[in-house]
């Protein structure tokens, strides 16, 4: 029932992507056929039942079955031990976090088709750094450069997303973490769609950034650290926030009374002495080129 295959990617995309899907787990599960019809859905259920899968009722909800590492084409590359929370069931009900009664719907239009169409590989470029370090500026310059090359990029800006998706979130610790988690999840969806997704968030804590990295295949999360000293950011203070933070009018401000945890193993470091925003964007562009992301 489960097609187990080797992913073959051209260019110099990280070798870890050449990953073989895990074999089916001990608990049986079924995979949707490429083309789902109503009839096949019914058959599917029979197959699941024949495989001895269990359905457990918890608090009046249907509870989960076994999990598989093989799912969408994008997710197939996830079986790297870092993406444990992304394993999905094919055509079976599962419980994920607070969600129950969930069936994974797979469609045969996969990431490869989208990448071929776009002549690029979807990925996430994650800009992190202090407020005023130039994340959004370089992200924008990068987006412009990619556009000129005919590549599809999309910027998820931490502040902008708070106007929509994350408008329910504030700045207390758990809200900031949730803000980053959601941006990471959305960035993953964009990458899955073949888009070069550029996320730009202070994202001060390693654990939050690493959690976003963990839901993507190895090599597809490109962390760019804007290595700009606090005093330089504070001197810029484009939003006037440092002044307010120093005056005690904003609490928990990153770099002032809340820590920024410098990335330990990020892919790219951009120093403020490293040139203009365009020149910095060029460095990221070169990285993408070298790693084969700018071709299908």
Q: Which of 12, 20, 85, 290 binds a copy of itself (CB under 8 A)?
A: 85
H helices then E strands: how many in the chain? Answer: 10, 9
Q: Which is nearer to a copy of itself, 21 or 195 (CB)?
A: 195
Out of 53, 86, 143, 203, pick the active-site residue.
Answer: 203
Q: Which is nearer to a copy of itself, 85 or 286 (CB)?
A: 85
Q: Which is nearer to a copy of itself, 76 or 137 (CB)?
A: 137
Tell me, by CB under 8 A, how many residues bind a copy of itself: 91
Closest CA to 277 of 143, 152, 148: 143
Question: Minimum CB separation from a copy of itself for residue 253, in Å?
Answer: 9
Question: Minimum CB separation from a copy of itself for residue 43, in Å?
Answer: 9
Q: Are 136 and 158 in contact (CB under 8 A)?
A: no
Q: Which of 105, 173, 259, 275 binds a copy of itself (CB under 8 A)?
A: 105
x/- map, 161-200, a copy of itself, by CB under 8 A: -xxxxxxxxxx---x--x---x--xx-xxx-xxxx----x
Question: Minimum CB separation from a copy of itself for residue 9, in Å?
Answer: 19
Active site annotation includes 41: no
Give, as ranges, the residues between 21 and 40 that touch a copy of itself (CB under 8 A): 35-38
Beta bridge partners of 271: 227
Residue 235, C-beta contacts closer than 8 angstroms, at least 6 positions apart: none
Other Cβ atoms closer than 10 A to 11: 13
Does 160 interact with a copy of itself (rule: CB under 8 A)?
yes
Strand order in the sheet with 221-227: 153-157, 196-200, 123-128, 221-227, 268-271
Q: Which is nearer to a copy of itself, 18 or 105 (CB)?
A: 105
Give, as ranges, the residues between 45 and 74 that touch a copy of itself (CB under 8 A): 45, 55, 57, 60-62
Does 159 interact with a copy of itself (rule: CB under 8 A)?
yes
Q: Which is nearer to a copy of itself, 18 or 231 (CB)?
A: 231
Q: Are 159 and 191 in contact (CB under 8 A)?
A: no
Other Cβ atoms closer than 10 A to 231: 10
DSSP symbols for 239-265? TSHHHHHHTTSSSS-BTTTB-----SS
Give, as ranges, the residues between 231 and 270 that touch a copy of itself (CB under 8 A): 236-241, 244, 248-251
Beta bridge partners of 154: 197
Q: Sort strands 61-62 and 57-58 into parallel, antiparallel or unpaired.
A: antiparallel
Give, as ranges, the residues between 214 and 233 that touch a copy of itself (CB under 8 A): 215
Catalytic residues, by residue number, are 203
């Amino acid at each position: 029932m489960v097609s187990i295959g080797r992913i073959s990617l051209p260019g110099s995309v990280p070798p870890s992507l050449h990953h073989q899907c895990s074999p089916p787990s001990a608990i049986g599960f079924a995979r949707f056929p490429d083309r789902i019809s109503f009839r096949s859905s019914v058959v599917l259920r029979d197959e699941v039942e024949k495989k001895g899968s269990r359905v457990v009722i918890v608090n009046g909800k249907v509870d989960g079955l076994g999990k598989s590492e093989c799912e969408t084409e994008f997710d197939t590359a996830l079986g790297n031990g870092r993406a444990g929370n992304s394993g999905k069931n094919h055509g079976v009900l599962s419980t994920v976090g607070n969600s129950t009664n969930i069936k994974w719907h797979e469609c045969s239009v996969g990431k490869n088709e989208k990448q071929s169409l776009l002549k690029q590989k979807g990925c996430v470029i994650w800009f992190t750094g202090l407020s005023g370090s130039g994340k959004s500026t370089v992200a924008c310059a990068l987006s412009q450069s990619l556009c000129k090359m005919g590549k599809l990029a999309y910027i998820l800006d931490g502040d902008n997303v708070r106007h929509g998706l994350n408008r329910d979130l504030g700045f207390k610790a758990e809200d900031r973490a949730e803000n980053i988690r959601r941006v990471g999840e959305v960035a993953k969806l964009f990458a899955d769609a073949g888009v070069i997704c550029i996320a730009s968030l202070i994202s001060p804590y390693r654990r939050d950034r690493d959690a976003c990295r963990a839901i993507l295949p190895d090599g597809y999360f490109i962390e760019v650290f804007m290595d700009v000293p606090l005093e330089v950011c504070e001197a810029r203070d484009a939003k006037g926030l440092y002044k307010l933070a120093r005056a005690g009018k904003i609490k928990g401000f990153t770099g002032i009374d809340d820590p920024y945890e410098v990335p330990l193993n990020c892919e790219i470091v951009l120093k403020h002495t490293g040139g203009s925003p365009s020149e910095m964007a060029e460095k990221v562009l070169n990285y993408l080129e070298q790693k084969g992301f700018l071709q299908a």
